[in-house]
Amino acid sequence: MRDPHEGLATDGCIRTGASRDRVPSAFEQVVLDATSAFDDLRRREAIDTDAALLLYGSVATGMAEPGRSDVDLIAIGVEKEHAAALSRELSHAHRSVCREVAIAVAGRHDHEGPGDEAYGNRVFLRHYCVPLLGHSPVGDDRFPGDARAARGFNGDIRHALDRWRQAGTADAAALGRLVGRKTLLATAGLVSVTEGTWSTDRATAAARWRRHRPDLAGELDQLLAWCDGAAASANDLRDAVADDGVVSRIAEDFANRIGLWDI
């Protein structure tokens, strides 16, 4: 869901609508239960005392729709099995409110260091995540919405393309959604840097990049449809990730205008 508050502040730094105060009332109990369950794990010393739980996505920006949206969380300093078990428990308990309570796991040091990936993680934690329990591992410094931030978010697009090619088309629908989401996020970075704006919204990215690359209009629409739930066919997916496909061309644009991770 598009965050209407996302953009650039007057000083050129990223602005978003992520705030604890914007959690929709329909999702409030989900957030409270997740926080309580996480705190219980911490008190029982099942996870470290300095672990943290953060909320992001449409629930954090107030744009979530009951029954259609996920509740997206990040657990820092938590073992994957604890996060997975908590995700299953909360998803079942709140299945009438949200599609899933998804808990991603991040390491305590994933945001540290000079590299693009670490920088992108710092930007994401600072501007897109709301601490629910514990503290965010990044400070209060704000980040510019520029090429470095766009590269930190999606400079791995060519490496992602290599993985998608190797994955094959056995589960074309699931992979198509992943391809659509990641590629359009990279496209959002292209739009932001090219137009001097800032957005991570996929629909906006598809609409705006058509004006710069009208030759990709149909393919961009297809990627957006996959994001919105349309099932990718095996043939369409193979075309998208081919050497001359839309993902390769977006990756080339990204490399030329913004740059890729050096990994």
Tell me: the pLDDT tens digits for 128-141?
A: 999 999 988 898 89
Mean pLDDT of 24-45: 92
Asked if residue 168 and residue 90 are part of one domain, the reply reads no
Most confident of 133-137, 166-170, 223-227: 223-227
Asked if residue 244 and residue 180 are part of one domain, the reply reads yes
**Residue from 75, 62, 51 nearest 20 by CA:** 62
Q: Is residue 1 part of a domain?
A: no
Q: Find how far residue 89's CA is from the centre of its chain.
A: 23
Q: Is residue 149 part of a domain?
A: no
Task: Write the DSSP symbol of residue 214.
Answer: G
Q: Residue 29 maps to which CATH number?
A: 3.30.460.10
Residue 231's domain spans which residues? 156-257
Q: Which of 102, 133, 164 is the last residue of a domain?
A: 133
- Check whether 257 has a pLDDT greater than 80: yes
Q: Is residue 117 part of a domain?
A: yes
Asked if residue 229 and residue 121 are part of one domain, the reply reads no
Q: Tell me, what's the pLDDT at 258? A: 98
Q: Is residue 171 part of a domain?
A: yes
Assign 150 to helix, strand or coil: helix
Q: Tell me, what's the pLDDT at 48? A: 74
Asked if residue 171 and residue 89 are part of one domain, the reply reads no
Asked if residue 127 and residue 74 are part of one domain, the reply reads yes
Mean pLDDT of 253-262: 95
Percent of the chain surpassing pLDDT 70:
99
Q: Tell me, what's the pLDDT at 263? A: 64
**What is the rounded CA–CA span in Å between residue 80 and residue 78?**
6
- Check whether 32 has a pLDDT greater than 80: yes
Q: How many domains does the chain have?
A: 2
- Check whether 188 has a pLDDT greater than 80: yes
Asked if residue 249 and residue 167 are part of one domain, the reply reads yes
Asked if residue 89 and residue 26 are part of one domain, the reply reads yes
Predicted confidence band at 44 (pLDDT cuts at 50, 70, 90)? confident
Mean pLDDT of 110-116: 89
Q: Is residue 220 part of a domain?
A: yes
Q: Which of 69, 101, 133 is the last residue of a domain?
A: 133
- Check whether 231 has a pLDDT greater than 90: yes
Assign 75 to helix, strand or coil: strand
Q: Is residue 41 part of a domain?
A: yes
